[in-house]
Amino acid sequence: MTIKIGNAPCSWGVEFANDPRNPAWRDVLRENAEAGYKGIELGPVGFMPEDPALLADTLAEHDLTLIGGVVFRAFHDPAQFDDVLDGAARTCKALKAHGAEHLVLIDSISPRRAPTAGRVAEAEQMDTAEWTAFRDRIAQVARIGTEEYGLTVGIHAHAAGFMDFEPELERLLDEVDERLLKICFDTGHHSYAGFDPVAFMERHIDRISYMHFKDIDPVVKADVIATGTGFYDACGKGIFCNLGDGDVDFSRVRQILLESGFDGWCTVEQDCDPTLPDTDPVGDARTNRAYLQSIGFH
């Protein structure tokens, strides 16, 4: 049994492949390795080269394993499903080319949900027909990843999308075959949504195939909930803090993983805004790695 620690391009502010603020992909790989990580996620498909040889050479240069990739697109919007399928196919091909294992599905931020991030009682809910179609789109992409590409597919709850709050996540898990869809569990988004990540892990550890490590500043969280701050503004206020500085009990998270015999990757994700003057992705990556080592993650 081995727990391995990786990082992801979103910790360098990379959320969308064509964002002109993105750092150079080679710099992200180099800095990730220099900060002490042995693995990295793909990031949004198109950020790193889709030419397998080019990316393989650079991964090897820095002794990095490609862990997985995320399809962060609008599963909630039927008009954008072709875009979802395009992102999924390209991501699957890239993962398969480099021997990566994890395909992560995230419903992207919806204008209908962004204003109520973290506030389950106020959030708009889908009606039965809309939910059924939404669920079936997720299941269709999960089936593609699992059956066509041999990947392990995990659903990832994310603030301000329609797969955000614990009841939605558990409903989806009840309705989609476990052989097709497992959980990529993000500790920070679960806390942001107003639920206890440790309690969820204790109930569902058998279905968790992959972990995203993220922490939440409790002071910022309380403020954005009390003031009705939307998701993007909450990010700008620093709701995603360094690991160990927030309200997630990572020592207990580690214990649950060990007790369950978890074998695989846990990826640090500290979403940041690269335009803010105090943003220091490399410093944060080093700090997060040192913190995880201090509590027994090696």
Residues with Cβ within 8 Å of residue 13, at least 6 apart in sequence: 21, 22, 23, 271, 272, 273, 274, 275, 279, 281
- Return the pLDDT at 54: 97
Exposed, middle or buried by CB within 10 Å (0-12, 13-18, 19+), for 108?
buried
Residue 252 structure tokens: 């207990």
**HSE value, Cβ hemisphere, 13 Å, CA-based, for 194:** 17
- Return the pLDDT at 296: 97
Sequence-ordered strand ranges (E) for the chain: 3-7, 39-40, 65-66, 68-73, 102-107, 152-155, 182-186, 208-213, 215-216, 240-241, 264-268
Q: What is the pLDDT of residues 27-86, one digit of tens each?
A: 999 999 999 999 999 999 999 999 999 999 999 999 999 999 999 999 999 999 999 999
- Return the pLDDT at 275: 78
- Return the pLDDT at 274: 76
Short-list 98, 109, 106, 107, CA closest to 41 = 98
Q: Give every residue of the chain whose pLDDT is below 70, as ranges.
A: 1
Exposed, middle or buried by CB within 10 Å (0-12, 13-18, 19+), for 95?
buried
- Return the pLDDT at 235: 87
Give the whole-angstrom CA distance, residue 23 versus residue 37: 18
In DSSP notation, 46-84 reads: TSS-S-HHHHHHHHHHTT-EE-EEEEEE-TT-GGGHHHH
Fold classification of 3-294 is TIM Barrel (3.20.20)
- Return the pLDDT at 102: 98
- Return the pLDDT at 1: 66
- Return the pLDDT at 272: 84
